[in-house]
Amino acid sequence: MLHYIELVFRNLNGWGLPVIMLIVGIVEFSFGLYENRWTKNERILDIVCFVVPKIVVRPLIAYVGVLFLPTLLPDAKNIFAWVPFWWGFAIIAVGDDLTQYWYHRLHHQLPWLWRFHRTHHSAPYMGMAMASRQNIIYTIFFSQIYLTTTLVYLGLGYPVLFVTGIKALITTAAHSSIKWDKPFYTIRWLQPIGWVMERLISTPATHHAHHADSNDDGVGHYKGNFGNMFFIWDIIFGTGIITRQYPSGYGIKHYKEEEWYAQFLWPVFKSKRKGSELAVDGPVVGDSEPVLTVPPLVKA
């Protein structure tokens, strides 16, 4: 049985997740959940952001790590191989997701970092199409890649396999335009499970709020709800809001539909859109609201 579970996660981390995303994406389109907002420019950007990191950036960083880690840490290979599976699983899950929480949060709270993460928020829709949408620089310095590569070298490769698979499923599901979490809030016998779930992991309700184009409706919370796999970081650090509702609009109000290459490769390539944050003379932050806004947790 363990062999088959391992096989599932190996395939999930390989071709499995893209296939799942493709199937769910087709369902999303079939139900018209993108509302005809997936224009040519958005399509190219989403596809490039999905393909390039998976076949170029992450494999290259992992390969460089394999080459240089023996030189940097010559006596540390498999030094943690003795750690029991569940301890290794916990160490990786917490270490990986907590570092990503702060990496993500800082890109919202430090104005000079915002434009590296802006691409992920410019999509005026939620769904499989935009789940991997990121600027190349944000992707290159993504903490998860370096941490997991190092932990594999240190001997925790087996639990890494399972953590990365589970995290990929949770974070991808949280971006889906299918509101699969809604029954946990509306069906009475599921509500206790929903109460725990929405505080432990990211769900469409909590993560969609982070992608809202406004905070005015009391549902959107784009300067909070930073958790990736675990929403509990937002509970602990006071950056979360739970409403069990979904925003009426997504993206950024000042989005100028910048060229896909500018969004993916800024600051190497700049946008030609006048007044854009990605233009040569554009503002650092186009939003007029303060960058740091952390309201208290709203209890559902």
Strand-pairing partners, residue 212, are 250
Q: What residues in the chain have per-residue pLDDT under 70?
A: 1-15, 287-300
Token reading at 216: 């005015």
Lookup result for tokens 């184009």: 213
Lookup result for tokens 């739970």: 242
Secondary structure class of 3 (helix, strand, coil): helix
Token reading at 248: 């009426």
In angstroms, the CA 288 to CA 284 distance is 11
Domains of the chain by residue range: 2-265
User: What's the burial of 291, exposed, middle or buried (CB within 10 Å: 0-12/13-18/19+)?
Assistant: middle
The pLDDT assigned to 32 comes to 77
For residue 64, the tally of other CB atoms under 10 A from its CB is 12
The pLDDT assigned to 114 comes to 95
pLDDT in tens, 249-277: 999 988 999 999 999 999 999 999 998 99
- Residues of the chain above pLDDT 70, percent: 90
| Predicted model pTM | 0.89
User: What's the burial of 245, exposed, middle or buried (CB within 10 Å: 0-12/13-18/19+)?
Assistant: middle
Secondary structure class of 268 (helix, strand, coil): coil
In angstroms, the CA 293 to CA 289 distance is 9
Contact 165, 12 (CB under 8 A): yes
pLDDT in tens, 169-201: 999 999 999 999 999 999 999 999 999 999 999
- Residue whose C-alpha is closest to residue 160's, from 171, 150, 173, 170: 150
